[in-house]
Structure 1
Amino acid sequence: MAPESAPFYFGTKRSPLEQDYYEVLNQPNVHLHDLSKVPLKSFAEKGLVMADDRLLEFDAIVLATGFDSYTGSLTQMGIKSKDGVDLRDLWKDGLNTYLGITISGFPNAFMAYTPQAPTALSNGPTIIEAQVETIVAMVAKLESEGARKIEAKRQAEQEWKAMLDAMSQMTLIRLTDSWWNGANIPGKKSENMVYVAGINTYEKQIREKMNGWQGFDVVTAA
């Protein structure tokens, strides 16, 4: 089952560690087909037609071709900025957030389980809890200070992205096309979308930005 040359570096895609995964692949009724060598050509009544015109017959076909991770759930909602720009258009040339929980041009808007956070590299409830608890603390602090609006600065977004990109340069993730960097979506820019320094460091870092509201424009009530 091991390929002659590794198609990607170990750990740059999720490793299949589920029980009996490899045992199932060794069953006599299971066959592996390398789509990078012989791509899929089309669907047919009885199965799949490959690029070499072979017909692979199946009773059922389960589509598991990936998904628009990190950004798809946000860009498909029609969310618009204060200037009326759709988030899909805002991110078409590259992703930008501040702290992974705010976006410049979207005042008083927060998000969780997001891009530019440790999202895919941590347990789901853990990162959601860390982000939501921070957002709640931010809102409580803003209310206590009499603030009526908070918005991330564009420069702060750029600095956050540059820091995350610098972190990713120390990993192998950038060397593999996968849904981790958006390479599985035609037309989507392939780029780093994850905070790789760990959830504890992430939570500490984003909470520190509440001191003096670093990277934010805050407007208090008149």
Structure 2
Amino acid sequence: MTDLTVDIRDLLFNVNDVDDPTPRQLPTIFQDIVGQLNAQELSYAVLGHIALARYERARYVKDIEIVVGLNANDYRLAAVLAEETRQRFALYMDRHSRANAITLSLRSCLSPVEEGLLTEAFICTWLGIAVRLASPEHLLWFWCHSSTLEHHVDAAALIRGDTVDLQRVQSLLREADNFEETGQERLRSAIGEAVLTSEFSFSRYMEERRARLKPDRVPVWRLRNQAEKDG
């Protein structure tokens, strides 16, 4: 697993019990389910903190979230593979016996826009295996549809990483008419949060603001009016 960053490795432990082996099993479990999906050539994409950690600073990761295509047969096969993974790693994935059990959730696409998530998936090596990750734009689009605080924080973190095309996200939100207004509001909120919580971005924002407030600055509209009079 040479592609594991130091940040990721540092997160794969239980701060309340450093001898707990469960968090360290996440890469192995991830490789197991992704390897099966790859072997069956199924269309899928990985969401959640695992994908976020590839694009932005690492966060505590213990959930594996995967979305597959609308094809019913593909979903049934993927569901069987996921259950086999849960059985193989039951010691680390049983919520009844472990409070910090690793979870694996799998579902099919819910809309045509989500199907685009699969076709535009980012293919790379992550956590030791070739995998299809949801693009930064689709991750942000997905989180803009959620009202949970965690997803709002995730969205702001992704924007801070400066790897997401915000215009593309706005386009995706417009495609989903039912969610457009709420989604756009959450996007604006996440952008604001990202600016205010990023020291570099906030400093740049304040510098630009101070430049606009300089006493000798002449507004563009006034210059334009003067030019029209002189003309």
Question: Is the pair's TM-score, using the shorter chain for normalization, greater than 0.5?
Answer: no
Q: Give the TM-score taking structure 2 as reference length.
A: 0.23
Higher helix share: 2
